[in-house]
Structure 1
Amino acid sequence: MNFAWIWNVKNWSPPRIIVSGFAIIILLGAFVLSLPFASATGERLDFIDALFTATSATCVTGLVVVDTGTYFSTAGQIVLMVLFQLGGLGFMTMATLVALVFRRKISLRERLILQESMNQTSMEGIVKLIRRVLYYSLSIELAGFLLFTFRFSFDMPLGKAAFFGAFHAVSLFNNAGFDIFGEYRSLMLYVSDPIVNITAMSLIVFGGLGFVVMSDLLEYRRKRKLSLHSKVVLAMTGTLIGIGALVLFIFEFTNPLTLGSLDWGGKIWASFFQAITPRTAGANTLDYTALRQATVFFTIILMFIGASPGSTGGGIKTTTFTLLVGAVISMIRGREDIVFFRYRMAKERIFKALTITILSLTLVVVVTMVLATIEDQPFLKILFEATSAFGTVGLSVGLTPELSHVGKMIIMVTMFAGRLGPLTLAYALGPGTDKELYRHPEGKITIG
């Protein structure tokens, strides 16, 4: 294989630049987090643990090997917030913000990279979209910060409540899943609290819908129409949340360690929260180590599907899953085309959805098998953690802190691949492909 392209930076494709940018941010973040000032005790964090934490923060996952609330100092927690924002919005989006502030023109090459990072099919209006992304994101985070600060101020001093509000607003909107309540508790103290639940779920959903959908929704009053992409994302998101909440409510209703000990209000809040958070958020209001095995497995499915394209979340994405479901339904009905909202889906989109799903499934299976070989842990826990890492979810059943150094490295690679997407990573690391000059004759094989 020819690796000459590695040194020819000027000719790098947008996927290679994006992968390299994320890798550089992770390495810088790991270096800073390993410094004494980042820890509450002034001790250096082991570099592997610092690298794991930086990867989890930049890839907005939320899996941790040390307790964020007690181990890191305020300065260290601020560093994590910066990594959330860079990882969630994308380093190219933040670089564009700097360029816009200094009124620097965005070049064609930079627009191509932005198109790739935002998962868009065209460069048209990409800079305008970035402006909206920044405006909407900061506005939503500010609203979350104010609501969290108001609620937390009843339980702690105002200054501390403000910092907690800012940290969790940025973490949840970017679907990072980190918390600073200590003892790996996440939001379990507020399992029945309406303000915290509504605020947290709204931040997670808005962060996971994707910036194109948010733009469509906020301009609906003026345009009076939604794009096909937004309709599909909203329909599948609502379906997954509704089914997820119902399934979790049924499975855990009599479990005394989860829903069984809550009143009806708490049961409903917790059911919806646990249905929304596998969409790559990582926060939780129930103890995941106490969930029944059926619930854990169902959560794995939700984590694998993940959020929507162009969002802060991971997974194979809701649109990919929708195309797969549509293909199955069309095949059962004997129809040639997949149709959503009276629009026929192009075959290349279906092929891309299948490719993403198979690559993602292969990654999760391989990681699970390797971890099952080197780690002495129950299989379901390993599968859960591997899927959580791939989907950049951050939910955990307690396995991550117990992993060996090799296990941590494997999970790091999985988080990195999950954040960027297996297809983007394949494009970035591959030597490039030449256009086919001919087509082979069509053949037929028996299926099923």
Structure 2
Amino acid sequence: MATRLTESAEYAHLWSTPYLRAVFDQRLQTWLDILVALAAAQAELGLIPQAAAGQIAEHARAEHLDLEFVAAETRRTSHSTLGLIRGLQRLLPEPAREYVYYGATVQDLTDTWFGLVMRDVGRLIQDDLIRTHGSLLRLAAEHRDTVMSGRTHGQPGAPITFGFKVATWADEVGRHIVRLSEGGERWSVGQLAGAVGVLGFFEPHGAELRKLFCARLGLRDPLVSWTTARDRVAEFGTVLSMVAATLARIGNEVYELQRPEIAELYERTAKATVGSITMPHKRNPEISEHLDTLARLARAAASVLVEGMVGGHERDGRAWKAEWAALPDVALAAGTAASLATGLVDGLVVDSDRMGENLRRTGWASERVLAGLSRQLGKHRAQNVLHEALREDADLVSGLASRGVADPADLARWTARPELATAAAMVDEVVARGTPEARR
């Protein structure tokens, strides 16, 4: 049985996806692959025998390791990877055993794994965001002229269009796609630093070895060791927490607008979905709500990664061992959110009639009336007149007309219908720009 509820058979689907789990479930084999790449690069430079590198590649299979022995040796030696080293040595013929993990450190292994995780998780999330972004653009175009209440402080304000609201979502998601693309060039790097970062063990071949090692793994060469320079990890976590926050903003809008007293948006639900086992009439916005939950966890984990930027000297286990817990957490939370958001947006049910009905029940025209009166009376005098009329008169138009502050024909024109040409133009601009990937 899983230690954490979020990893249990019943609930794991809410906290991860099969693709994300594969990245982390393959951690041990990925570590072995890193050691194979290191040995191959060392053999290419003549630092270890070619035969030894070939034998390491042949035997470095996670399924062949005695994990009980590896765990026992890790506990017995109090060293993070000595159990793995000795477990792999047991699989190798004698000459090759001395060349396992040759000149490398724990951070060389785990930071390089981080580079692979950040590369692969970043791509998975970017792919989901690209799909969501395309759906948002289509939704914005479809509802370019669907009028609804714009709300501030939770209260109905002036008119907007639903297409405008969606366009703000799309624009923000598009910026995250760019952030992931640009950031991936910084954080998809390997680590080969040695004891204190200067690769003294491999002198004078250190820089060349690191370049070959990173290339074999499909990672960039960092050019300088980054054992205590944790900005890449912090940036990755921060960008992912921002992605999750944006998706939570979208989710919260659906959550609020699905309330029956508003009833403008709905999550699509399957026939088998049960909203409540005690209140059968309920239709809960489960996905929207969960996006907010995931964003909270992502922000919390990202803050730990930012803390790691403050490290001591050339290596500091306090920082990067905390990352071992926090990096998977932020990756799983943000990655799951990105996956769930694709289905939420694709299945969103929009009640355009209810949007219009809700707008008509509010004093939607007050901003336009204020603008018209401001041109005639001055802005602040017009505002005072409007506040007085709204306090004292049941009907704004008749109240203003009775005060003689505006021509009835002007009042009729100002309150006839919302004028949202600028909102529509902004929707058109966002849609015309298309996806960041298409622009690139």
- Report if TM-score (shorter chain) is over 0.5: no
Q: Provide TM-score, normalisation by structure 1.
A: 0.31
Larger radius of gyration between Structure 1 and Structure 2: 2
Q: Provide TM-score, normalisation by structure 2.
A: 0.32
